[in-house]
Amino acid sequence: MKIGIASDHRGFKLKEQLKKNLNYEFVDYGTNNEESTDYPIYAFKLGEAVANKEVDYGVAICGSGIGISIACNKVKGIRCAKVSNKEEAMYTRNDNNSNIVAFGEKTTLEEAIDIVKTFVETQASIEEKHQRRVNEIIEYEENN
């Protein structure tokens, strides 16, 4: 399993810690230091990689997790959710078949590890109601 990971300057330290503390193959889409930068640059790179199936899932980190999640969601085919805990990570994978998870820089390393593990290890629901809702999102995106 390959996981894309991206952050802005504020999420850089947590991104680096996750790469060192999780036993997954990561593809890093930047940024590569703590110099001030714009999160959309890295969100779009990550989103394109996930949408083009270069990686299986994505992890996005910025100051709050909100901005980078909004930018990721501008890429066609992306369903990114900003989460605050592992329960939300499980729900967004199970119910929404999300392909990128986002969180903020103030997430502790332990919490971030739990979020990422839960996100990538949770299967999307095969329940008809969940599939129907995700398909409605996909159909809207395709037609607009």
Mean pLDDT of the chain: 98
Split into its structural domains, the chain has a count of 1
Domain of 24, CATH number, reads 3.40.1400.10
pLDDT given for residue 8 in this prediction: 98
pLDDT given for residue 22 in this prediction: 98
pLDDT given for residue 2 in this prediction: 98
On whether the CB atoms of residues 119 and 91 are closer than 8 A, the answer is no
pLDDT given for residue 107 in this prediction: 98
pLDDT given for residue 109 in this prediction: 98
Q: In this structure, how many other beta carbons lie within 10 angstroms of the beta carbon of residue 64?
A: 16
Q: What is the pLDDT of residues 42-91, one digit of tens each?
A: 999 999 999 999 999 999 999 999 999 999 999 999 999 999 999 999 99
* Residue among 63, 68, 16 nearest 41 (CA): 68
**Phi, psi (degrees; rounded to nearest 5) at 62:** -140, -165
pLDDT confidence of 19, banded at 50, 70, 90?
very high
pLDDT given for residue 98 in this prediction: 98
pLDDT given for residue 42 in this prediction: 98
In angstroms, rounded to a whole number, what is the distance separating the alpha carbons of residues 78 and 50?
7
pLDDT given for residue 44 in this prediction: 98
pLDDT given for residue 138 in this prediction: 96
94-111 average pLDDT score: 98
98-102 average pLDDT score: 99
Residue 78, Cα to own-chain centre: how many angstroms? 9
The whole domain housing 47 covers 2-143
pLDDT given for residue 140 in this prediction: 96
Sorted by sequence, the CB contacts under 8 Å of residue 63 that are 6+ apart come out as 8, 10, 11, 104, 105
pLDDT given for residue 46 in this prediction: 99
